[in-house]
Structure 1
Amino acid sequence: MKITKSLFRFDLVTLMPEMFQALTDFGVTGRAFKSGVIEMHVCNPREFAKDAHNTIDDKSYGGGPGMLMMVEPLVKAIEFIKEKQHKKGLKGAKVVHMTPRGKSLDHQLVRELLKEDSLIIIASRYEGVDERINDWVDEEISVGDYVMSGGELPAMTLMDCMIRQLPGVLNDDESANQDSFVDGLLDHPHFTRPELYRGLKVPEVLMSGDHEKIRIWRLKESLRETWTKRPDLLAERLLTKEESRLLQEVKREQEQDPYN
């Protein structure tokens, strides 16, 4: 696919721009950047520090452990990015802050963010950020209920999830449509050669060449995986008649042989 214009633009506010080479230089995302599907621009808030030491953190008012990122360098970085975008005729980008207290990242949120043309992502560090930054933030996003050393890896997680959904990024666009969570279910099991390995055989239906039987088997196994490992997903999903019937089969089979 020939790209004449990038499909999405990311602007990163980060103290560690080198970390993002993991995305730009390798794998599926690396190919997307090289082909021009994606643009990425990095802005280091140290460039907007006031003193000769480029200080961007300070102690918290009221005491407490650790240091906080100061609000002014971050705000100036955001404003600098938005001014650059304005000069290029781009509309105002949504500002996202990667933080443990944010909305949990899931596939639905990825799809919502892809309705934008660009994102400004703040990858903060230290103990936290001056609370006043939220006047410049549109959305807080979390990648899980745990604490990391900084927002760079969560930012890359978000970017990877978004990039693989863009047309032309994967060699087969249908791969993205069949990923886990895309339709609210976990993906079905996959098999490749050899057909027999240490007594473990590939399911015969997958060797049959009967596309309808394969489709039903995959749907049923997808329901089985979801029911067994993430039943909460089924509680949130409106099942079709076919899915309801297959799920009932899965439950009956599990009752008959709970260890299988």
Structure 2
Amino acid sequence: MLRLATWNINSVRLRIDQVARFVEQARIDVLLLQEIKCLEDQFPRAAFQAMGLPHLKIGGQKGWHGVAIASRQPFTEAPVLEVCRERHARCVGVMVEGIEIQNFYIPAGGDLPDRALNAKFDHKMDFYERLTAEVARRDRSAPLLLAGDFNIAPGENDVWNHRYMSKVVSHTPIEVETLTRLQATGGFADVVRDAHPDPQKLASWWSYRAQDFRKSNRGLRLDHIWTSPGLTPAVIPHSATIHDMVREWTQPSDHCPITVDLDL
């Protein structure tokens, strides 16, 4: 069995103790991190070696963005996806146990859902269009896993209030259609939603503005794990888990980790 986790950590150096705590408690084999907020030579490699994840693939960037994959097992190189026109460190991939794993931190898109008036939103849509074109060229039977912070909550039960959020970047109709198109193009299974079917409300992100995120209960499911038709049969049924208790820890990330188990 391989247990994989994705987590927008919002600064890996600031929260390295939380990473170690979670990896130990949840027995993680492959960890995908987003928003590491450091350069490759600043990444806390020794800490990951100590927690049993010595094999590292890091896409670092000064100040913002940045993605990384940490694994118990050795990995080989995966295809490099040229999907970010701004050349941000937003995607990194590896091959583990014959599975291509691609880890994404997709742009948030700013505040205005208008491509002509908001360059950040146009960048987000362009990122998705490039990724969809890449997926369209792939063989669906190949084992492929896409995961990370997609910055779109697709379903009515992935947001705290569908009517209100439909006007807010992260859940607007154009974003939902774009995400749905990507999923359909690759035939991907949304393993978290499959494990916890509608109408159950799900969230993986809560704003820092609320002193008590559970009391305000205004979460969004922005973080995802998708599997291709060639990998979905290996997903252990109902194993996908949102670890929202991590959001209760002292000075947490605004995102919580998500895990899935694969029977390999």
Fold match, TM over 0.5? no
- Higher fraction of helix: 1
Q: Structure 1 length normalisation: TM-score?
A: 0.25
Greater relative contact order, per chain length (Cα 8 Å cut-off, separation 6+) = 2
Larger radius of gyration: 1
